[in-house]
Amino acid sequence: MHSFKKLNPINNFFYPETICIAGASSKEKSIGYELLKSIKAYGYTGRIYPVNPKAEFILGYKCSRSIEEINEKIDLGIVVVPKAFSEETIDQLISKGVKSIILITAGFKETGNEGEQAEKRILEKIKNADVRLVGPNCMGVITTFPEIMLNATFVAEKPETGNTAFLSQSGAIGASLLNSLRETDIRFGHFISVGNKADICENDLLEYWNNDDKITTITMYLESFSDGESFLSHFTGNKMSKPVIILKAGRTSAGIKAASSHTGALGSSDKVVNSVLEQFGIIRVNDLNEMFNTAKGFENFPIPQGNRIAVVTNAGGPSILAVDKLESENLVLAQLSAETKAELKLIVHPEGSVNNPVDLLPGGTAEQFRDANKIVLKDANVDAVISVFVEPVMVPAFEVIESNNTIKSDKPLLQVVMPLPEFWEKYRHQSQSKKPLFRRPEDPAEVLSNMIFFFQNKIKKERLKYSNPFSEKGDSGVVYSESSIITNGAKEIVSSSPRFLSQKETITLLSRYHIPNAASLFVSPKEINNLSDLDFPICLKGISSVVIHKTEMNAVKLNIRSYEDLRNSALEMEKSFSDKGFTIEKFLIQPFLKAKHELLIGGFRDPSFGPMIMFGSGGKYVEVVNDTCMKSAYLSEYDIDGMINQTNAGKILKGVRGERSTDIDTIKSIIRNTAQMMIDNKNILEFDLNPVIITADDSIVTVDARIRLKT
Q: What is the mean pLDDT of residues 260-271?
A: 56
Confidence of residue 472 (pLDDT cuts 50, 70, 90): very low
Answer whether 301-445 and 519-592 agree in fold.
no
The pLDDT tens digits of the residues spanning 657-701 come to: 767 888 999 999 999 999 999 999 999 999 999 999 999 888 999
Give this prediction's pTM.
0.90
pLDDT at 549 over 90: no
Taking only the tens place, the pLDDT of each residue in 392-422 is 999 999 999 999 999 999 999 999 999 999 9
Q: Is 516 exposed, middle or buried (0-12, 13-18, 19+ CB in 10 A)?
A: middle
User: From CA 634, how far away is CA 168, in angstroms rounded?
Assistant: 27
How much is the mean pLDDT over the chain? 90
pLDDT, mean of residues 475-485: 43
**Confidence band for 50, pLDDT divided at 50, 70 and 90:** very high
Has residue 211 got a pLDDT over 70?
yes
Which CATH number applies to 519-592: 3.40.50.2300, 2.40.50.140, 3.90.1200.10, 3.30.1490.20?
A: 3.30.1490.20
Q: What pLDDT score does 92 carry? A: 98
Question: Which class in CATH covers the domain with range 3-296?
Answer: alpha beta
Confidence class for position 1, pLDDT limits 50, 70, 90 = very low
Q: Does the pLDDT of residue 564 top 90, yes or no? A: yes
Asked if pLDDT for residue 51 goes beyond 80, the answer is: yes
Q: What is the pLDDT of residues 526-542, one digit of tens each?
A: 999 889 899 999 999 99
Q: Report the CATH number of the 462-516+595-711 domain.
A: 3.30.470.20
* pLDDT tens profile 102-121: 999 999 999 999 999 999 99
- Ordered by start, the domain boundaries in the chain are 3-296, 301-445, 462-516+595-711, 519-592
- The pLDDT, as a whole number, for residue 552 is 66
Which helix (H) or strand (E) covers residue 136, if one does? Answer: none
Query: 347-366, pLDDT tens digit by residue?
Result: 999 999 999 999 999 999 99
Lowest mean pLDDT among 371-385, 438-452, 459-473, 614-628: 459-473
pLDDT of residue 470: 54
pLDDT, tens digit, for every residue of 300-331?
Answer: 999 999 999 999 999 999 999 999 999 999 99
426 pLDDT above the threshold of 80: yes
Provide long-range contacts, Cβ within 8 A and 24+ apart, for 207-211: 207/234, 207/239, 208/8, 208/10, 208/11, 209/165, 209/242, 210/234, 210/239, 210/240, 210/241, 210/242, 211/4, 211/8
Query: Is the pLDDT reported for residue 385 higher than 70?
Result: yes
Q: Cα-flanking dihedrals φ and ψ of residue 97, to 5°? A: 90, 15
State CA 324 to chain mean position distance: 27
Q: Per-residue pLDDT averaged across 222-239, rounded?
A: 91
DSSP β-ladder status, 57-58 and 61-62: antiparallel
Domain covering 301-445: architecture: 3-Layer(aba) Sandwich (3.40)
Percent of the chain with pLDDT over 90: 81
Residue 376 has pLDDT above 70, yes or no: yes
* Residue 461 pLDDT: 79
Cα(560)–Cα(566) distance, integer angstroms: 6
pLDDT grade, residue 494 (50/70/90)?
very low
Question: Residue 640: how many CB atoms within 10 A of its CB?
Answer: 22
Residue 253: what pLDDT? 63
pLDDT at 547: 77
Position 493 pLDDT exceeds 90: no
Q: Would you place residue 204 in the very low, low, confident or very high pLDDT band (cuts 50, 70, 90)?
A: very high
pLDDT at 231 exceeding the cut of 50: yes
Is pLDDT above 60 for 257?
A: no
**Torsion of the alpha carbons at 246, 249, 251 and 255, rounded to the nearest 10:** -170
Residue 7 pLDDT exceeds 90: no
Confidence band of 252 (pLDDT split at 50, 70, 90): low
Answer yes or no: are the C-beta atoms of 559 and 569 closer than 8 Å: no
Report phi then psi at 21, rounded to 5. Answer: -110, 100
pLDDT above 90 for 469: no
- Tell me if 21 sits within 8 A of 49, measured CB to CB: yes
Q: Is 650 helix (H, G, I), strand (E, B) or coil?
A: helix
pLDDT of residue 497: 56
pLDDT for 301 equals 97
